[in-house]
Amino acid sequence: MFQKTKNNYLIFSILLSFISISVTTFINIQMAKEYLRVDGKTKALFGIKELLQFGYQYYVVILGLLSLIFAILSFKSNTQRSKLFAATLLSIFSITIVFLRIWRLFI
How far apart CA 44 and CA 67 sit, in angstroms, is 36
Three-point CA angle 58, 62, 64, nearest 5°: 100
Q: Is the pLDDT of residue 1 over 50?
A: no
Q: Is the pLDDT of residue 3 over 60?
A: no
Write the pLDDT tens digit of every residue in 25-84: 999 999 999 988 888 887 888 888 888 888 898 999 999 999 999 988 887 765 678 888
Q: Is the pLDDT of residue 2 over 60?
A: no
How many CB atoms are closer than 10 A to CB 84? 20
Q: At what angle do helices 2-37 and 46-54 cross, to 10 degrees?
A: 140
Extents of the domains making up the chain: 2-106
Q: Is the pLDDT of residue 13 over 80?
A: yes
pLDDT for 60: 92
Radius of gyration of the chain (CA): 17
Which pTM does this prediction carry?
0.84
Closest CA to 35 of 25, 49, 17: 49
Alpha carbons within 13 angstroms on the beta-carbon side of residue 103 total 21
